[in-house]
Amino acid sequence: MKYRFKFYLLVAFLVFSACEIKWDMDVEFYEDFSGKYTIKLLINEELQLYALEIGEETSLGSLNDITNDLPEGFGSSIFQENEYLGILVRNDFDNVGELKDQFELLKSNENTALLLLPIEEIDFQNNEEEFRIYGSFGELFDTENEIINQSGYENVFDGRLGFKVPGNITKPNISNIVENTIIFEADGVSSKTFELISRKNKPINPISVSVAFVLLTVVYFFVRQSRKVK
Tell me the mean pLDDT in the region 164-184. Answer: 95
> What is the span of the domain harbouring residue 86?
2-229
pLDDT at 12: 42
Q: How many domains does the chain have?
A: 1
For the chain, give the percent of residues with pLDDT over 70.
Answer: 73
Tell me the mean pLDDT in the region 72-101. Answer: 96
Of 103, 104, 126, the C-alpha closest to 32 is 126
The mean of the pLDDT values for the chain is: 82
pLDDT at 60: 85
Which of 64-84 are b and which e, b meaning 16 or more Cβ less than 10 Å from the residue's Cβ?
bebbeebeeebebeebeeeeb
Tell me the mean pLDDT in the region 79-104. Answer: 96
CA atoms lying within 13 Å on the CB side of residue 86? 23
pLDDT tens-digit profile of 31-85? 999 999 999 999 888 878 877 887 778 888 788 899 999 999 999 999 999 999 9
Report the DSSP beta bridge partners of residue 209.
Answer: none
Rounded Cα distance, 191 and 178, in Å: 26
CB 85 within 8 A of CB 43: yes
Rounded Cα distance, 157 and 14, in Å: 9
pLDDT higher than threshold 60 for residue 207:
no
Tell me the mean pLDDT in the region 10-15. Answer: 46
Tell me the mean pLDDT in the region 130-152. Answer: 73
CA geometry: angle at 70 spanning 84 and 137, to 5°?
60
Give me the helices (H) in the chain, please.
Answer: 5-15, 45-53, 63-68, 96-107, 206-229
Q: Give just the sign of the alpha carbon dihedral 156, 82, 183, 118.
A: negative
